[in-house]
Amino acid sequence: MIKKNWVDLKIFLDHEFDHFNTEAFIELDPISIPHQFTQKHDIEIAGFLTATIAWGQRLTLVRNANQLIKFMDGQPHDFILNHSIHDLKPFKKFVHRTFNGENCIFFIQRLHWIYNHYESLESAFKPELNSVKDSIIHFRQVFLGQEFNGNHTRHISNPADNSAAKRLNMFLRWMIRNDERKIDFGIWKQFTASQLYIPLDVHSGSVARELGLLNRKQNDWKAVEELTENLRSFDALDPVKYDYALFGLGVSGKLKTMK
């Protein structure tokens, strides 16, 4: 039985983080898509589009994200900057859950606008703001532009509306966290890992509640703040490293076998 004593819990979670934070994690995870690239702009574009559709069965997600990369001729940044209207034709039939061709083309067009007005996606998140929450809210406004309608806004979560913003927090973890294992990229230097929030989903939320790290029942922004604050008591400089442990324990079912 897992002890609920938080000293023992930290030891346990550190061990599970070390277990899941390996190259083996990459192969079947959506982070495998941006790992196809070495240049910052390619990595962040591939990561952003992959994170945007990151829900549902992971193998399906990885397959569909790879299809997006293929549509961009394997050169995300060059495609975003230089595509023609004709080049967008393959995207019209793209579907992943509720993310359809219309959404896809809108995202490509907005990324084109971003890279013509900002140095990178990192700059568009406005790192100088007080918190990552504020940066997400700002980026959402910049990215959507005047297109504030339900067809596109549902795919860019809003913490101001108490959304957990799981996919954006996961994308930010990919871009900002940096350790010697290099699973996350650490290519955004204007943020620090200490600012990040946990990418809360059904797996990490369930495990966190089982371990006594999360009391709130809903997977919303208030739950994100509660869980992240508790994880900061384990590692104030890198609280979301425990996303590996919580998600891995949830997906593997390991926690159930330890009771």
For residue 181, with 0-12 CB atoms within 10 Å meaning exposed, 13-18 middle and 19 or more buried, which class applies?
Answer: middle
Q: Is residue 248 part of a domain?
A: yes
Q: What's the Cα-to-Cα distance from 3 to each of 9, 178, 252, 255, 258, rounded to whole Å?
A: 7, 30, 20, 12, 11
Q: Is residue 85 part of a domain?
A: yes
Taking CA 82 as the corner, what is the angle to CA 77 and CA 84, rounded to the nearest 5 degrees? Answer: 130
pLDDT at 150: 59
pLDDT at 56: 83
pLDDT tens digits along 55-109: 888 899 999 999 999 999 999 999 999 999 999 999 999 999 989 999 999 999 9
Q: Which domain holds residue 60?
A: 6-257
Q: Is residue 177 part of a domain?
A: yes
Q: Is residue 236 part of a domain?
A: yes
What predicted TM-score, i.e. pTM, was given to this entire model? 0.94
pLDDT at 149: 57
pLDDT at 2: 45
Weakly modelled stretches of the chain, pLDDT under 50: 1-3
Q: Is residue 1 part of a domain?
A: no
pLDDT at 106: 93
Q: Is residue 143 part of a domain?
A: yes
In the chain, the number of structural domains is: 1
Q: Is residue 192 part of a domain?
A: yes
